[in-house]
Structure 1
Amino acid sequence: MLRLRCCILARLRSSPATSQGSYLHRAISAAAAAPVISPNPSFAVDDYLVETCGLTRAQALKASPKLSHLKSPTKPAAVLSFLAAQGFSSSDVAAVVAGDPKVLCSRVDGYLGPVVAQLTGLGLSRSQIARLISCCHGNLHLTSIVSKLQYYMPLFGSIDNTLRALKGHFYLISSNLERVVKPNVATLRDSGLGDCDIAKLCLAHTRLLTTSVESIRAIVACAESLGVPRGSRMFRHAVCAVAFLGVDKIAAKVVYLKKTFRWSDAQVGIAVSKFPPLLRRSKDSLQRRSEFLISEVGLEPTYIAHRPMLLSYSLEGRLRPRYYVVKFLKENGFLNHDRDYYNTLNISEKTFMEKFVCPQKEAAPHLAEDYAGACRGEVPTRFRIA
C-alpha cells in the first residue's frame, strides 16, 4: 500500500494540473480494487517487538519472520498483559520474546498460564522461568518439561546450572529421558565417575547426555588408554579432554606433544596422566611454551613431563615475569641458586610478591616496577639494582 501511495503521488506531481483530478480518481479506484494486505496496515511486527516488547532492532529483525502472520497486536497484547500480571519484568519479557518469539501467539489459558504455574511450583523465579522459555526455542512442552526439570535439577545441582546446560544444548528438553539421557548417565557412573564429576563433566560437554551409549563407552575407553585410571581424581579431566577433542584426534595430539616437548612415550604418558587438560591446549600455545621453557629457561623435557602444570600457566602473565625475577635474584646473590623455578610458579601472586619482590625493596628498589612491566609484556633488557 505504501509503495502504491508513493507511486500515486509521483504521478500526480508529474501530471498536468488539468488532468490531476481524473488521474487521482482512477488511482484511488485502482487502490480500492487492489487486494487488502492486512486488516491493520499500521501494525508492523518489528516495530512492535522493539517499542512494546523491549527487543533491540537486531533481535526484532531476527524474530519478526516468525511472526509475519500476525496482522494485529491482539494476541501479543494478551500474552504481554499476562506476563506483566505474573510479575515478569520488562527485561524478563524481552528475554522470553527474543528466545521464543512464537510465545506471543500462545493461548494464555490453554498453554502459557499452566506452564508458568507448573514452573513456579518447582520453585523457579520469574527471571528463571523467562530464561527457561527463552533458551528452549519453542520446545517447552508442558507434558514433559516438569518431569525433565525434576531430573536435571538434582543432576546439575541447581536450577541455574540446569539453565546453563539448556542454553548450551537445548535438545536436552526434547531428548527422551528413559531411552537416552538416563542410560548415558548410568554409563558414566559405571565408568567410575561420581555424581559431582558427572555434573561438572556434562555442564562442560552437555552433548554427552544426548549422544549414544556406544560413543560414551568409546570416550571412556580412550581416556583410560591415556594412562588415567578410572576412579582417579584426574579421570573426569581425561574424559573431558577426549570429549573436547574427539576420539579420532587424541592420537594426533599425543604425537604432537611428543614432538614439541621431545618426550618419550613414557614421558608423554606421565604428563597426560598428571594433567589431562594438557590435551586441550592449542598447538600454538604448546609450541610457545616449549620454546620458552626448554630453549630459554633451559628445563629438561623430563622435568616438564613430571610437572605438566607448568604448561597451564600464562606465558606472558606468569611464566616469563617470574622467571626474570628469579633469574635476577640469583644472578645478584639475593636468592640461592638451588631454588626450584617450579616452586615459584605454583604460589599466589600475593605470596610471590611477599617472598621474592618486597624483601628486596632497599637492595633493588626498581624490582617491583620491573616485574610489573614484565607482567604487562614490557620486559626490560635487564632488571635493575639501582
Structure 2
Amino acid sequence: MAAMFHLVSKRLHHFLKPISASTTNHVYLFSSSCVNSTHLSDEHPPLMNLFKSHGLTHTHIKNLITDHPGILQADLENTLKPNIELLSSLGISHLNLEKVISLRPRILFVDILQVVELFRAYCFSDNQISTIIMKYPVLLTYKPGKYLKPKLDYLISIGLSSEDISRLVLAEPTILTRSLENQLMPSVEVIRRVVGSESRVLKAIKSCHRLLGYNLEKVLEGNITILTNHGVPRSIVDKLFYIHMNTLLNSNGRLTKVVVRVSDLGISPKTNTFILATRVLSSISDSVWERKKDVYSSFGLSEENLITLFKVLPSCMLISEKKINKMMNFLLNEMKCTFPCILKQPLVLLHSFEKRILPRWSVLRVLISKDVIKKDISLLYAMRISEKRFFEKFVVKYEKVRGEKVALQS
C-alpha cells in the first residue's frame, strides 16, 4: 500500500500542490500551472489524448485524476482505451462518460466487453445497455457468467420474455445484484402463494418492477395478514395487489398505523373506499395531510367537512395544494357552488382545471347570461359528463334554439 501511494504521489507531483501550510497536509489542489493543458499532455500524452478524443474537457480530466488517481495506473492499451471506446460506441456522451467513470472508476480496470456482450446476447439493445450503465455502472464490474447470466436465465425460466426482462432491468438494474437463491427465487415463491397462477405471477412482476427486491414473506404477506385481520375481504385485497401494489409494500408498522386510522374514520373495511383511503394515507405523510387540510380549511371547510369529503373521495388528498387552492377558489367564488353541491359531485375536483373546468364554464356562463339555461342547473354535473355528452347537451342543442354558436374551447 505504501509503495502504491508513493508511486501515485510521484506521478501526481507535477500536477498538485498543497493548499496552504495551515490546511491538512493531505489536501491538495491543482496548481495554477495545471490549468494549462500542455503540462498534463507533456506528462501523460496518450492518456490525455484518449480522454480528449472522446469529448472530455481539460477540467473533466483534471477532476477525474484528482478524485481517482489510480486511473494513472490503468493499462492504457488493454483495458482503459478499449473500455472508453466501447462506452462511447454505446452512445454515452462525453458528459455522461465522465459521470459514469466518476461513479465507478473501476470500470476502467476490468473487461467490460464481456458484460456488454452478455446483455446483447439476451436481446438488450445498445441504447438499453447504455441506459443501464448510466443508471447503475457497477454492473460492468460483475463477472457476467457467475453473477449476471444465472439471474437472466432464471427470469426466462419463469416465463418472462426478452422484452419483459429488458424493461425490468432498465427500471430496476439493481435486481441483477440480488442473490438468486436468497432473494429472487424466494420472492417468486411468495408471489405464487399470493396470486395462485403462473400468469398472475408474471403480471405482478411486470406491473411492479421493484417487487422482486423486497422481503416479500415479511412485507407482502405480512401486510395481507394485517388487512384481513382488520376485516378486509381477500377479494378486495387482491384488487389492491393489482391496482396499487405499492400500498402492500409499505412496512408492516406503517400499514398497521394507516389501517387503524382509516377504521377510526368509520369507513367499512368491506368496501372499496376502505382500500382507496388506505392507499392514499399510506402514500402521504402526516405533514402533507396537515398542509392540504389547511388549504381546504382556508375556504371554510371544517374538520368534519374534510373528513366527509375524504370518505366519499379519498383522492381529494392526493391533489396538489396548488390545484386545491385553484379549484376551490373557482368553484366557490366564480361558479358560486356550495360545499354540499361539491360533496354531491366530488369527482369535479379531480378534473383538469385548464382543459375541462374553465372551457366548460365559459360555455355555461354564456348560456346563463342569455337566460338559455337556469342558474340552478347542476353545474358540477355538467363538468363531470363526457365531452360528447356535454357538446350535445350544451353546445349543439342551444346553437339550434338560439341560432347562435357557442364555442367549446379545448
**Relative to 1, partners in 2 of residues 1:109 and 1:8: Cα closer, same or farther, differing over 3 Å?**
closer
**1:68 aligned residue (105, 108, 113):** 105
Which amino acid is the alignment partner of residue 286 of structure 1?
I
**1:270 aligned residue (293, 296, 308):** 308
Runs of 4+ in 1 over 6 A off after TM superposition: 1-5
**1:293 aligned residue (313, 331, 335):** 331
Find the counterpart in structure 2 of residue 309 from structure 1. Answer: 347
**Relative to 1, partners in 2 of residues 1:350 and 1:61: Cα closer, same or farther, differing over 3 Å?**
farther
Question: What is the rounded CA distance, in whole Å, between the counterparts of 1:303 and 1:210 in structure 2?
Answer: 36
CA-to-aligned-CA distance 1:25-77 (integer Å, 9 cap, x gap): xxxxxxxxxx972222572487335324343444433322354234566x322
Q: CA deviation at 1:341?
A: 1.0
**2:285 aligned residue (246, 250, 261):** 246
Which amino acid is the alignment partner of residue 288 of structure 1?
K
Residue 229 of structure 2 corresponds to residue 190 of structure 1: yes
CA-to-aligned-CA distance 1:339-371 (integer Å, 9 cap, x gap): 321221111112111221123345354412xx3
Residue 276 of structure 2 corresponds to residue 237 of structure 1: yes
Question: What is the rounded CA distance, in whole Å, between the counterparts of 2:131 and 2:202 in structure 1?
Answer: 17
Percent of residue pairs bearing the same amino acid type: 19
Matches within 5 A, 1:72-111: 75-111=111-147
Find the counterpart in structure 1 of residue 257 from structure 2. Answer: 218
CA contact (8 A) 1:219 1:242 kept: yes
Question: What is the rounded CA distance, in whole Å, between the counterparts of 1:286 and 1:36 in structure 2?
Answer: 57
Matches within 5 A, 1:1-386: 6-7=41-42, 37-41=73-77, 43-44=80-81, 47-48=84-85, 50-71=87-108, 75-134=111-170, 135-137=172-174, 139-143=177-181, 144-152=183-191, 157=200, 159=202, 162-163=205-206, 165-166=208-209, 170=210, 172-191=211-230, 192=232, 193-203=236-246, 205=247, 208-211=248-251, 213-247=252-286, 249-250=288-289, 253-254=292-293, 256-257=295-296, 259-361=297-399, 363-368=402-407, 371-372=408-409, 375=410
Q: CA deviation at 1:152?
A: 4.3
5+ residue gaps, structure 2: 1-10, 12-36, 46-70
Q: CA deviation at 1:252?
A: 5.7
CA-to-aligned-CA distance 1:71-119 (integer Å, 9 cap, x gap): 566x322222333334333234334433432332333332222222111
CA contact (8 A) 1:271 1:305 kept: yes
TM-score computed with the length of structure 1 as normaliser? 0.74
**Relative to 1, partners in 2 of residues 1:70 and 1:273: Cα closer, same or farther, differing over 3 Å?**
closer
Find the counterpart in structure 2 of residue 14 from structure 1. Answer: none
Which amino acid is the alignment partner of residue 209 of structure 1?
L
**Relative to 1, partners in 2 of residues 1:282 and 1:82: Cα closer, same or farther, differing over 3 Å?**
closer
Question: What is the rounded CA distance, in whole Å, between the counterparts of 1:298 and 1:341 in structure 2?
Answer: 10
Q: CA deviation at 1:219?
A: 0.7
5+ residue gaps, structure 1: 11-34, 376-386
Question: What is the rounded CA distance, in whole Å, between the counterparts of 2:304 and 2:107 in structure 1?
Answer: 66
Question: What is the rounded CA distance, in whole Å, between the counterparts of 2:290 and 2:266 in structure 1?
Answer: 13
Question: What is the rounded CA distance, in whole Å, between the counterparts of 1:5 and 1:252 in structure 2?
Answer: 55
Larger displacement relative to structure 2 (320-329 or 246-255): 246-255
SS in 1 for 2:150: helix
CA contact (8 A) 2:101 2:107 kept: no
Question: What is the rounded CA distance, in whole Å, between the counterparts of 2:398 and 2:344 in structure 1?
Answer: 32
**Relative to 1, partners in 2 of residues 1:235 and 1:173: Cα closer, same or farther, differing over 3 Å?**
same
SS in 1 for 2:336: coil
Which amino acid is the alignment partner of residue 97 of structure 1?
I
Which amino acid is the alignment partner of residue 39 of structure 1?
D
Higher relative contact order (CA 8 A, sep 6+): 1
**Relative to 1, partners in 2 of residues 1:118 and 1:324: Cα closer, same or farther, differing over 3 Å?**
same
**Relative to 1, partners in 2 of residues 1:9 and 1:57: Cα closer, same or farther, differing over 3 Å?**
closer
Find the counterpart in structure 2 of residue 13 from structure 1. Answer: none
Cα RMSD (Å): 3.4
Which amino acid is the alignment partner of residue 312 of structure 1?
L
Question: Which structure would you say has the larger Rg?
Answer: 1
